[in-house]
Amino acid sequence: MDTKHCAVDGWVDAIPAPGPNRTAMFDLTVRPVDADTLPEDAPDTVVSCTAKDAGIVHELLTGIQPSDLLRVTGTLVQPSTPGEPARLTVDVLEVLDTALLPVLREMVIDRYADYVVVFDGDHDQVPVFTASGRWVGLADNPDAIATLIDNDQRVNGGDA
């Protein structure tokens, strides 16, 4: 296998997911540098990323949203089989740009690792539950969700 230490800029298409052994996993969509000269239907490159550092894992699972532009630095492993995505073990994470917050007009359920939140466009407060259904609390606004989850994990250790 060919490995290389590098930095890659790309967009997150889906909310990062918790992985085994306290890791976080996500796919990074990378546009070629010369994208303007390529045909419109030229495919983007998808790099499968895994982070092991606790601080990076926390940021990925609580702060990163789809369409965020990231720069990740780490060890890239080229796939042994053509057509499979390259794998990058992330050592450094930098948020270059955040996605625009959608304007909610209806109720939306979202997942933050082992927690579920319910956004309602008519209210600022956000109910938070564990994935198993235990009530965690009511965040005063979307910005307070991470604090509420952190407090729950400190007190209860979470309970997916």
What is the pLDDT, as a whole number, of residue 160? 46
Residues 47 and 85: beta-carbon distance below 8 Å? yes
pLDDT one-digit tens code per residue, 14-49? 889 998 899 999 999 988 776 667 777 777 788 899
- What does the alpha-carbon distance between residue 53 and residue 24 come to, in Å, rounded to a whole number? 9
Give the rounded distance of the alpha carbon of 44 from its chain centre: 19
Which pair of structure tokens corresponds to residue 87?
A: 């794998």
pLDDT, tens digit (0-9, with 9 covering 90-100), for 141-160: 888 998 999 999 888 875 54
Q: Are 56 and 22 in contact (CB under 8 A)?
A: no
CA distances from 98 to 5, 67, 136 (A): 25, 7, 27
Phi (first) and psi of residue 132, to 5 degrees: -85, -5
Q: Give the pLDDT confidence score for residue 1 in this predicted structure.
A: 57
Q: Residue 43 has which token pair? A: 């495919």
